[in-house]
Amino acid sequence: MEYGRIENRAVEPMERIKSYNEFHTPADDDARREQAARCMDCGVPFCQFGKPICGMVSGCPLNNLCPDWNDLLYKGFWDEASDRLTMTNPFPEFTSRVCPALCEKACTCGLNGDPVTVRDNEYAIIEKAFETGHIKPRIPEKRSGKKIAVIGSGPAGLSAAHWLNRRGHSVTVYEKADRPGGLLMYGIPNMKLEKKIITRRVELMKAEGVEFIFNSDVGRNVAPKKILDSYDAVILACGSRNPRNINAPGRDGDGIYYAVDYLTSTTRVVLASDISDTDYISSKYKDVVIIGGGDTGNDCVGTSIRHGCKSVTQLEMMPKPPETRAENNPWPEWPKVSKTDYGQEESIAVFGRDPRIYETTVKSFVRDTDGKLTGVETVKIDWQKGEDGRMKMNLIEGSEEVIPAQIVLIAAGFLGPEKYISEAFGIETDARSNLKTEGSSHRTSGEKIFAAGDCRRGQSLVVWGLREGRDTAEEVDRYLMGYSNML
Residue-wise pLDDT tens digits, 324-355: 999 999 999 999 999 999 999 999 999 999 99
Architecture field, domain 256-410:
3-Layer(bba) Sandwich (3.50)
| Cα four-point dihedral sign 380, 383, 386, 391 | positive
pLDDT in tens, 168-184: 999 999 999 999 999 99
The CA distance from 390 to 35, in Å, is 43
78-107 core/surface letters (b: 16 or more CB in 10 A; e: else): bebbbebbbebbbbbbbbbbbbbbbbbbbb
- Looking at residue 272, its pLDDT comes to 84
* Highest CATH level, class, for 147-241+415-481: alpha beta
Distance of CA 73 to the CA centre of its chain: 27
Q: What are phi and psi of 443, to 5 degrees?
A: -80, 135
Question: What sections of 137-219 are H helices per DSSP?
Answer: 155-167, 183-186, 195-207
Round to whole Å and give the CA distance between 469 and 46.
23
Residue 437, CB-side half-sphere exposure with 13 Å CA sphere:
23
Q: Considering only 274-278, 288-292, 427-431, which range has the smallest mean pLDDT?
A: 274-278
Q: Rounded CA gap, 21 and 12, in Å?
A: 13
Across 282-290, average pLDDT:
97
- Is 70 exceeded by the pLDDT of residue 85? yes
Average pLDDT, the chain: 95
pLDDT at 486: 81
Domains 147-241+415-481 and 256-410 share a fold: yes
Residues with Cβ within 8 Å of 204's Cβ and at least 6 positions away in sequence, in order, are 135, 136, 137
Residue 240 has a pLDDT of 94
Give the span between the Cα atoms of 250 and 408, in whole angstroms. 12
| Cα 83 to Cα 71: distance, rounded to the nearest angstrom | 13
Other beta carbons within 10 Å of 148 = 26
pLDDT of residue 386: 86
Does pLDDT of 407 surpass 70? yes
CATH second-level architecture of 9-132? Orthogonal Bundle (1.10)
Q: How far apart are CA 234 and CA 228, in angstroms?
A: 7
Ordered by start, the domain boundaries in the chain are 9-132, 147-241+415-481, 256-410
Cβ 146 vs Cβ 170: under 8 Å: yes
| C-alpha separations of 398 from 249, 291, 358, 377 in Å | 18, 21, 17, 12
Q: Are 130 and 93 in contact (CB under 8 A)?
A: yes
Do the beta carbons of residue 216 and residue 176 sit within 8 Å?
A: yes
pLDDT at 43: 87
475-487 pLDDT, tens per residue?
999 999 999 988 7
Around 410, how many Cα atoms within 13 Å sit in the side-chain half-sphere?
Answer: 18
Q: What is the pLDDT of residues 95-115, one digit of tens each?
A: 999 999 999 999 999 988 999
pLDDT-derived band at 313, boundaries 50, 70, 90: very high
CA distance 125 to 52: 28
Q: How many whole angstroms separate alpha carbon 60 and alpha carbon 63?
A: 5
Confidence label for 278 from pLDDT (cuts 50, 70 and 90)? low
Percent of the chain with pLDDT over 70: 99
How confident is the model over 122-131, as pLDDT tens digits?
999 999 999 9
pLDDT value, residue 166: 97
